[in-house]
Copies of this chain bind each other. A is one copy, B any other.
Amino acid sequence: MLTRQQLLHAQGRTRDFLNRVGIVLTAQEAATIEVADFGLGEIETTGLQLVVYVNTERVCAKELVLFPRQTCPEHRHPPIGDEPGKEETFRCRWGTVYLYIEGEATANPATQLPVGHESTYTVRHEIELQPGQQYTIPPDTLHWFQAGDEGAIVSEFSTRSRDEFDIFTDPQIRRAPIIQ
């Protein structure tokens, strides 16, 4: 649950991040930046800010903003009907993002798990993305990510986005934001 004040604050901060690197939004986009707290009420720790540029039946493109050390929690994009599930490419534009995927656990990861939610993070193979670096996540595979100390701006290029079908490891999570 997000208060209206938290929403406005996070939206303003997101605009500041994007302005700083010269990413231009329309007035409409700037006013409707999506702020996801995933229902945990700990937006500084677990949260994500999104500008959705386009989301058709075939293609989706977004700008993701993560505040310093903010985490997008572990989830996967399952098949829906005949479609194999969402395929995502994350391209870091600014800052650092640590992406975690299935595979051998990284011995000394660069992040700490959100306190009290450790058991809801099961994939531990770390990929560090600096500006210009990117990684493509196949459909239906678990992943999560956390920004470094400065935060991060990440472009997402993907197939159609239908967040309501996402499956989170943490059963407490509600993807659709509830604004108080």
Asked if B91 contacts A53 (CB within 8 A), the reply is: yes
Cβ of A122 to closest chain B Cβ, rounded Å: 26
- The answer to the question of A132 belonging to the interface, with a C-beta cut-off of 8 Å to chain B, is yes
Number of interface residues of A (CB under 8 A): 28
Query: Closest residue of chain B to A155, judged by CB?
Result: B61
Contacts of A60 in B (CB 8 A): 157
Among listed A7-15, A20-28, A107-115, A168-176, interface-contacting one: A20-28
Given A131-B24, A132-B29, A87 and B56 contact (CB-CB distance below 8 Å): yes
Asked if B21 contacts A22 (CB within 8 A), the reply is: yes
Asked if A134 contacts B24 (CB within 8 A), the reply is: no
A residues 71-101 with Cβ under 8 Å of B?
Answer: 87, 89, 91, 93-94
Given A26-B133, A132-B24, A54 and B159 contact (CB-CB distance below 8 Å): no
Asked if A54 contacts B157 (CB within 8 A), the reply is: yes
Asked if B158 contacts A59 (CB within 8 A), the reply is: yes
Cβ of A48 to closest chain B Cβ, rounded Å: 19
The 10 A-B residue pairs with the shortest CB-CB distance, nearest first, are A61-B157, A24-B132, A24-B131, A54-B89, A26-B132, A58-B159, A21-B22, A25-B132, A58-B87, A22-B22
A residues engaging B (CB < 8 A)?
Answer: 21-26, 29, 53-54, 56, 58-61, 87, 89, 91, 93-94, 131-134, 136, 155, 157-159
Question: Can you show 25 pairs from A to B with CB atoms below 8 A apart?
Answer: A22-B22, A22-B94, A23-B93, A24-B93, A24-B131, A24-B132, A25-B132, A26-B132, A26-B133, A53-B89, A54-B91, A54-B136, A56-B87, A58-B58, A58-B87, A58-B159, A59-B87, A59-B157, A59-B158, A59-B159, A61-B89, A61-B91, A61-B155, A61-B157, A157-B157
